[in-house]
Amino acid sequence: MKSFKNYMPSFLYGFSFCILLLFLLQQGILFFSIDKDQKSNENILTFQKIEDMYNLILDTYYEPVDTAELLNSMLETMLNNVDFHTTYIPYQDHLRQSEEMSGNFYGIGIQFSLFKDTIVVVRVLPDGPAQSTPLLAGDRITHVDGKEITGPNIKNELVLNTLRGDKGTNVKLTILNSSKEIKEISLNRGEIPLHSISSSYFINPNIGYIKIDKFSSTTYSEFIDHTNNLINKGAEKLILDLRGNTGGYLDQAVAITEELLEKGLGIVSVKGQYRNEIIYKSNYNGQLSNFPLVVIIDEGSASASEILAGAIQDNGRGEIVGRPSFGKGLVGEEFSLGDGSVLRLTVARYFTPSGRCIQKEMENDYNYSYDTSNYEDYFLNNIDSTKIFKTLDGDTVFGGGGIYPDYFIQPEFMSNSVSSFFTENLDKIDELTFQFIDLNRARYSSTKEGFENLIIDNKNNLISMISSDLDEYDNFSNIEKDEIYLQLEVLTARNFLSTKEFVYFVNNNDSAYLKSINLLNSEL
């Protein structure tokens, strides 16, 4: 017979699980036909079986079971028969995601990398708590509050959880600097902004460039600040880069789109089985409504990014350049499950102003083909050519398969031999490029000019490091070696430059970016 002590955890977890199931039923999340008594009784019996199985596992399994892990797996299994955008998010994961989307967190203000099982400071962030301390790029953090934080078990998540904390709380760091001196640094955690716009800059003679990485709660206000700055510098045209932007908050995407449109134009409509239709339109002439505009997208542009790009394309407002977008035409909402965890549930579809839903059908997987001979055909096959729509200026667009660009830019790929070289040796190459930066960090500023000087002065040293540690390098042809070096430059720049400077560096040789400039200079 169970003792009361042993029975209570089982009862509480089982009871909580049943409460969760009842909540899901009330929200219309479980698609059971509960109007019929027979079906309702079957569902109740099924819930009872789930609880019985859970109790049996806890009480009779041959070894201890992690109850939290078991419950999480049950919740995740429940979602196998709905779209994969509907997900259960445990408390800790949701906490981290909420920080990312809120636009700030409390920490010490550094960008770090893990190198040889040690935290290495890559950059001290401006205006953060660490800026007023002796902490410098290249320093190794060995202890936090007296506790060693090195070794093979150290992971990014552990570092983040250790360095972040409540506002104003004190943290003591032990560091090993480039001179092999051990120092103690004490500082208080402060607010660290998480910018959703990673880069913006002015391009002569009159073009502004803005890259939006996600649509967080601060994106619209960031966008206004960046555009005002560009206008003050003389910008009269705009490139909006949404590549790799997987989406975010709908209201932020709508607000930015409104700044790009004239009054009265459609932006998006949203409708679901349990959601009344909501139609979003521009309520005023946007600040940038008269700016010639190019939006750059790729297969990583999804959801809110596609809403913005779709509104621009359907209203004939600007040109879309790049590669077809991801194809997520669904809207999700988060439902709290009481313990900090949430259910992110798909509740509606959205439709662009022309009336199309760009959702890629579920049977079409989301793994993209990288065969240069059929890359464009792959996306065309995902478009539903039976669903034909017209943009405001009369162009034909299709439903399904994402947003197809007005100007398709073929992706640039490494040769198979060079791709294999990087795939097989990526960890070692990362280590070598990091060592290269470490050896030269003190002599060059972390600006694009500093990076250019670093590469000019030390190109042969970088190649020598790769050649010495990776024997197969010497077997490549000169053309392949040139290709390898270009990739080494990018890897080095990623670890040396700020995000803004890195975006500028990569864009200089980017086909979609250069095409966008040419279009704007040719007066769209």
Q: Where are the domains of the chain?
A: 4-81, 104-192, 197-411, 416-515
At 92 the three-state DSSP class reads helix
Give 362's pLDDT tier (boundaries 50, 70, 90): low
Say which residues have a Cβ less than 8 Å from residue 503's Cβ, sequence separation at least 6: 198, 199, 211
Which of 70-79, 105-114, 132-141, 192-201 shows the lowest mean pLDDT across its residues?
A: 70-79
Q: In this predicted structure, what is the pLDDT of residue 292?
A: 98
- The predicted pLDDT at position 45 comes to 72
- Whether 32 has a pLDDT exceeding 60, the answer reads no
Torsion of CA 260, 264, 268, 270, to 10 degrees: 150
Q: Confidence band (pLDDT; 50, 70, 90) for 384?
A: low
**Residue 18, pLDDT above cutoff 50:** no
Are the beta carbons of 209 and 199 closer than 8 angstroms? Answer: yes
What's the confidence (pLDDT) of residue 375? 58
Look over the chain and give the mean of its residue pLDDT values, rounded to a whole number. Answer: 87
Asked if the model's pLDDT at residue 14 lies above 60, the reply is: no
Q: In whole angstroms, give the CA distance from residue 113 to residue 140.
A: 10
- 144 vs 112, 116, 315, CA distance in Å? 14, 18, 54
| 471-492 b/e (C-beta count within 10 Å ≥ 16 → b) | eebeebeeebbebbeebbbebb
pLDDT band for 339, please (50, 70, 90 cuts): confident
The rounded distance, in Å, linking the Cα atoms of 339 and 349 is 28
DSSP 359: P
pLDDT at 8: 36
Tokens of 81: 């028969």
Whole-angstrom distance, CA of residue 171 vs CA of residue 317:
51
Residue 374 has pLDDT above 80, yes or no: no
Q: Give Cα 185 to chain centroid, integer Å.
A: 32
- Reported confidence tier of residue 143, pLDDT bands at 50, 70, 90: very high
pLDDT score for 383: 65
* Superfamily of chain region 197-411: 2-enoyl-CoA Hydratase; Chain A, domain 1 (3.90.226.10)
CA distance linking residue 58 with residue 13, whole number of Å: 10
Predicted local distance difference test score (pLDDT) of residue 382: 62
Model confidence at 366, pLDDT cuts 50, 70, 90, reads: very low
pLDDT value for 34: 43
**Whole-model pTM?**
0.84
pLDDT score for 393: 93
Task: Pick the range with the lowest mean pLDDT from 146-155, 254-263, 292-301, 438-447.
Answer: 438-447
Q: Are 396 and 314 in contact (CB under 8 A)?
A: no
pLDDT at 364: 42
Q: Is the pLDDT of residue 30 over 70?
A: no
Measured CA to CA, the distance from residue 228 to residue 30 in angstroms comes to 47
The CATH number of the structural domain formed by 104-192 is: 2.30.42.10
- DSSP per residue, 258-317: HHHS-TT-EEEEEEETTEEEEEEE--S--TTTTS-EEEEE-TT--THHHHHHHHHHHTT-
In 3-state terms the chain splits into helix, strand, coil percentages (rounded to 5) of 45, 25, 35
What pLDDT is stored for residue 502 in this prediction?
94
What is the residue type of 469?
Answer: D
Q: Cα–Cα distances in Å, from 448 out to 83, 491, 500, 501, 503?
A: 44, 14, 10, 6, 10
Tokens 């250790």 label which residue? 162
Residue with tokens 């009872």: 48
Q: In which element (H, E) is residue 347 found?
A: strand 342-351
Per-residue pLDDT at 104 exceeds 70: yes
**How far are the Cα atoms of 15, 358, 373, 415 from residue 398, in angstroms, in the given order?**
48, 8, 23, 33
Write the burial class of residue 127 (CB in 10 Å: 0-12 exposed, 13-18 middle, 19+ buried): exposed
Answer yes or no: is pLDDT of 156 > 50: yes
Does 22 have pLDDT greater than 50?
no
Q: What are the catalytic residues?
A: 303, 314, 328
**Whether pLDDT at 487 is above 60:** yes
The whole-number average pLDDT for the span 432-446 is 89
Counting beta carbons within 10 angstroms of the beta carbon of residue 128, is it exposed (0 to 12), middle (13 to 18) or buried (19 or more)?
buried
Beta strand pairing status for 197-203 and 182-188?
A: unpaired
Closest alpha carbon to 324 in 254, 392, 403, 413 = 403
Would you say the CATH fold of 197-411 matches that of 104-192? Answer: no
What local confidence, expressed as pLDDT, does residue 71 receive?
Answer: 82
Judged by average pLDDT, the poorest of 67-81, 163-177, 275-289, 462-476 is 67-81
